[in-house]
Chains A and B, each alone.
Chain A
Amino acid sequence: GAGVSQSPSNKVTEKGKDVELRCDPISGHTALYWYRQSLGQGLEFLIYFQGNSAPDKSGLPSDRFSAERTGGSVSTLTIQRTQQEDSAVYLCASSVKDRVHNEQFFGPGTRLTVL
């Protein structure tokens, strides 16, 4: 089937505005991950979902960041009152039911620019 999709592919917003980033995982994948990658940097883990629950939110950088997942499928990452330092590529990945050897399948990312 289709791979992981993310929307929008690019988002430009003004400082202080809220943004919503969407991730559609591969059908049947119960695990979903959000990462952030700043220019020239590695991937920074944000949050992990297993089904609709988030057992690991440890990477969310502040309370302006939140995420939810409904129906064990689509996930939305919301950033409130965006700041310039939030500018980055936000990547979503999914994998099959958690197991020891989990290969993660990544979406193309959303490039967020906060002016």
Chain B
Amino acid sequence: SQQGEEDPQALSIQEGENATMNCSYKTSINNLQWYRQNSGRGLVHLILIRSNEREKHSGRLRVTLDTSKKSSSLLITASRAADTASYFCAPPQGGSEKLVFGKGTKLTVNP
């Protein structure tokens, strides 16, 4: 089944540095979403990128999508301690509304 797999599993950086997280998936998609989760509770939608887009920006976030490689990346620039969280990519399964989440990347931003 379709699944987003994030890499690395954990990332620790200093405040002000950039953080890059990668996602790979298995089958063709029409869009891909990134979510953030604090402290093992509810997820918050960050950004959606469509299959015909190569790059998208939202504030300090930059998402890329390479459909030929079935991969996406999330870049957080000028990181802050408040960015500490787990980040998940969520490609849809087939043409359904069902999103399939991986285990996420646990980002720690040290002050």
Contacts and interface: CB of A to CB of B under 8 A. Distances in A.
Interface of A: 4, 31, 33, 35, 37, 39-43, 45, 48, 50, 56, 89, 91, 93, 95, 98, 100-109
A42 B103 contact: yes
A106 B44 contact: yes
28 contacts: A4-B42, A41-B103, A42-B101, A43-B101, A48-B97, A50-B97, A56-B98, A89-B40, A89-B41, A91-B42, A91-B43, A95-B97, A98-B97, A100-B31, A101-B30, A101-B50, A102-B97, A103-B33, A103-B45, A104-B45, A105-B45, A106-B43, A106-B44, A107-B42, A108-B41, A108-B42, A109-B40, A109-B41
B21 to A, nearest CB: 14
Contacts of B42: 4, 91, 106-109
Contacts of A103: 33, 45, 48
A93 B44 CA distance: 10
B58 interface: no
Interface of B: 30-31, 33, 35, 40-45, 48, 50, 88, 96-104
A100 B33 contact: no
Contacts of A104: 33, 43, 45, 99
A17 to B, nearest CB: 23
Contacts of A109: 40-42
A45 B98 contact: yes
Given A43-B101, A45-B98, A48-B98, A101 B43 contact: no
- Among A43, A101, A105, max chain B CB count under 10 A is at A43
A87 to B, nearest CB: 13
